[in-house]
Amino acid sequence: MSAPLPFNRPPLTGRELENLRDVLQRRELAGNGTYTQACQDWLKARLGVAEALLTQSCTAALEMAAILCGLAPGDEVIMPSFTFVSTANAVVLRGAVPVFVDVRGDTLNIDEKLIEAAITPRTKAIFVVHYAGVPCEMDAVNEIARTHGLVVVEDAAQALLSTYNERQAGALGDIACFSFHDSKNVVSGEGGALVIKRADFVERAHVLWEKGTNRKAFLKGEVDKYTWVDVGSSFLPSELTAAFLGAQLEYADDITRDRLATWEFYHHAFAELERRSNQIVRPVVPPKVRHNGHLYYLLLRDGASRDATIERLRVGGIVAPFHYVPLHSAPAGVKFCRTSGSLAITDDVAARLIRLPLWYGIGDLAGRVVEAVSREVLR
């Protein structure tokens, strides 16, 4: 029997230990040190944004974003239900209400045509999710936001180095949140970043990041002592996390190219199966998008076929999981959130979706996945 083939294997560049040793030699372990600044500078330069702040996770970045949006109890935020719980939890923690709208049947991103109907006098923001590293239809989203005076937050957890109309994901709205969890393209174990395009959010973001204090102003010599001035928390990661991430960011382009090559291999290999079997649907990437090869999924005929395929692949040593349970159907979603209109597409795709193994350096093992999936679909 072949060796088990996992869904994910975090990348290593070879520079991580070197960076970690440097941190230990410097005795610079707490956050906001040399490597934190280097990573933030990389993100600012690459994305072309006003500020970037490393965080302990994308979840932490989303929580900061919710505070920057000025959310208060009873406010509403429009978002898809087909997302990870952190997107909604950040809103709920402020006492606000996530309002779910359906996704598009092609990209599985929020359906921009449904957003305006979900807006009420309580709406404060739109949280979009760039599923599988494919950016949403951001020109339309931003136009709606401008018309109604709303903040646009990108949940770009999966979308580092993806682009929309030649603009970087993370610089498409007002605020963006990235993940460096070990399931992502570029990793630090746990970790994330808050990226800010709107300059008027930057000063407060630093206060939130520094536990609600004006420590940044103190370090710049603008005040003679720092003190508690606003809400905040311990959002920043340690230098050990930042050092690991720094080694990864140096190779971000190589990692992305490798993942894209595997993504294209899958896409080409399944084209004929999609055409002749009518049993699968491949991902759709709009022409204006350049994605980062984060995730390759297939939509199978129905939920029963999907579940049976996942189990048979597991028995054969291949881990190919489903993805999100839609948040509107989760117990907390029922308790804290509401829906706007039908979420039929969300329910349908969530029941049929299977994710295939894809990681940096998977190489020829992707062929084993194609053979096994094709065999199961045609059985």
Q: Rounded to whole angstroms, how far apart are CA atoms 99 and 120? A: 10
- Is the same domain home to 207 and 297? no
Q: CB–CB of 289/163 below 8 Å?
A: yes
Residue in 124, 184, 197, 216 annotated catalytic: 184
Which uninterrupted H or E stretch holds 64? helix 58-68
Residue 7 domain-assigned?
no
**Can you tell me which residue has the tokens 């340690």?**
238
Residue 241 domain-assigned?
yes
Residue 319 domain-assigned?
yes
Q: What is the CA radius of gyration of the chain?
A: 21
CATH number for the domain spanning 297: value is 3.90.1150.10
pLDDT of residue 1: 55
Q: Rounded to whole angstroms, how far apart are CA atoms 128 and 216? A: 30
Q: Rounded to whole angstroms, how far apart are CA atoms 99 and 328? A: 9
Q: Rounded to whole angstroms, how far apart are CA atoms 81 and 83? A: 6
What tokens does 267 get? 């896409």
Q: Rounded to whole angstroms, how far apart are CA atoms 272 and 285? A: 18
Q: CB–CB of 322/355 below 8 Å?
A: yes
What is the torsional sign of CA 170, 173, 179, 183? negative
pLDDT of residue 71: 98
Q: Rounded to whole angstroms, how far apart are CA atoms 251 and 255? A: 6
- Is the same domain home to 199 and 64? yes
Look at the chain and report how many structural domains it folds into. 2
Give the contacts of 32 (CB within 8 A, at least 6 positions apart): 236
Q: Rounded to whole angstroms, how far apart are CA atoms 111 and 239? A: 39
Q: Rounded to whole angstroms, how far apart are CA atoms 142 and 364? A: 41
- Is the same domain home to 203 and 308? no
Q: CB–CB of 170/52 below 8 Å?
A: no
Residue 316 domain-assigned?
yes
Last residue of a domain, one of 224, 250, 276: 250
What tokens does 53 get? 């702040």
Which uninterrupted H or E stretch holds 334? helix 331-336
Residue 2 domain-assigned?
no
Q: Rounded to whole angstroms, how far apart are CA atoms 277 and 299? A: 13
Tell whether pTM > 0.95: yes
Last residue of a domain, one of 230, 250, 270: 250
Q: Which domain holds residue 191?
A: 16-250
3-state SS, residue 47 = helix
- Is the same domain home to 207 and 280? no
Residue 339 domain-assigned?
yes
- Is the same domain home to 229 and 257? no
- 335 is annotated as an active-site residue: no
Residue 98 domain-assigned?
yes
- Is the same domain home to 39 and 151? yes
Comparing C-alpha atoms, which of 253, 246, 247, 244 is closest to residue 292? 253
Last residue of a domain, one of 250, 282, 305: 250
- Is the same domain home to 179 and 52? yes
CATH number for the domain spanning 136: value is 3.40.640.10
- Is the same domain home to 319 and 239? no
What does the pLDDT profile of the chain (379 residues) look like in tens digits? 578 999 999 999 999 999 999 999 999 999 999 999 999 999 999 999 999 999 999 999 999 999 999 999 999 999 999 999 999 999 999 999 999 999 999 999 999 999 999 999 999 999 999 999 999 999 999 999 999 999 999 999 999 999 999 999 999 999 999 999 999 999 999 999 999 999 999 999 999 999 999 999 998 899 999 999 999 999 999 999 999 999 999 999 999 999 999 999 999 999 999 998 889 999 999 999 999 999 999 999 999 999 999 999 999 999 999 999 999 999 999 999 999 999 999 999 999 999 999 999 999 999 999 999 999 887 7
- Is the same domain home to 139 and 283? no
AA identity, residue 262:
T
Q: Rounded to whole angstroms, how far apart are CA atoms 22 and 25? A: 5
Q: Rounded to whole angstroms, how far apart are CA atoms 372 and 193? A: 37
Residue 1 domain-assigned?
no
- Is the same domain home to 152 and 198? yes
- Is the same domain home to 305 and 199? no
- Is the same domain home to 245 and 258? no
